[in-house]
């Protein structure tokens, strides 16, 4: 692998030939900026392309995996978009022991619907998605 990359001042690597595993790992600082931008765009597109705009993070992960966005990239994109006020994420809870450890977060874009406040619109979309799922789950699931 020697001679294929050179260390640059910011701690990353400049790749000048085929990428070996160790060079790829050290070069992630540079590459992840491009990957994160793509992950953010794919995430926003996934939320916009469905009639119901609020989605569970597990649904988003499955959708984004088909576009080569990893779960780690999705999580970073979600965190960034939430801190930028572009998406709202609600972590839900259900006391059913079968759901212990299950990711029940629901995500929606923070956009105005029919002139309503953008944050209230996102809350409504999240509530609608959660209530629909919870109602179906409780109607079909039997503990005991």
pLDDT tens string, the chain, 144 residues long: the values are: 444 444 444 444 444 444 433 333 334 433 443 389 999 999 999 999 877 689 999 999 999 999 899 999 999 999 999 999 999 999 999 888 888 999 999 999 999 888 989 999 999 999 999 999 999 998 998 775
Q: What pLDDT score does 59 carry? A: 94
At residue 87, the 3 state secondary structure works out as strand
**The CATH number fitting domain 5-140, selected from 1.10.10.10, 2.60.40.10, 3.40.50.10300, 1.10.10.60:** 1.10.10.10
Q: What is the C-alpha to C-alpha distance for residues 25 and 41, in angstroms, rounded to an integer?
A: 24
- Domain-by-domain residue ranges, the chain? 5-140
C-beta of residue 106 within 8 angstroms of C-beta of residue 119: no
Q: What pLDDT score does 141 carry? A: 82
C-beta of residue 112 within 8 angstroms of C-beta of residue 96: no
DSSP assignments along 97-124, one per residue: GGGTT---EEEEE---STT--HHHHHHH
Q: What pLDDT score does 21 carry? A: 38
Q: What is the C-alpha to C-alpha distance for residues 123 and 108, in angstroms, rounded to an integer?
A: 8
Q: What pLDDT score does 97 carry? A: 87
């Amino acid at each position: 692998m020697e001679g294929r990359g050179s260390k640059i001042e910011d701690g990353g690597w400049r790749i000048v030939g085929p990428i070996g595993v160790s060079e790829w790992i050290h070069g992630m600082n540079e590459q992840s900026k491009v990957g994160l931008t793509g992950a953010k765009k794919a995430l926003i597109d996934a939320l916009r392309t469905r009639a119901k705009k609020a989605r569970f993070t597990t649904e988003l992960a499955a959708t984004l995996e088909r576009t080569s966005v990893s779960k780690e990239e999705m999580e970073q994109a979600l965190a960034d978009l939430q801190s930028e006020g572009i998406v709202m994420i609600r972590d839900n809870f259900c006391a059913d022991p079968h759901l212990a450890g299950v990711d029940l977060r629901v995500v929606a874009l923070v956009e105005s619907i029919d002139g309503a406040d953008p944050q209230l619109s996102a809350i409504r979309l999240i509530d609608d998605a959660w209530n629909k799922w919870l109602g179906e789950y409780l109607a079909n699931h039997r503990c005991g």
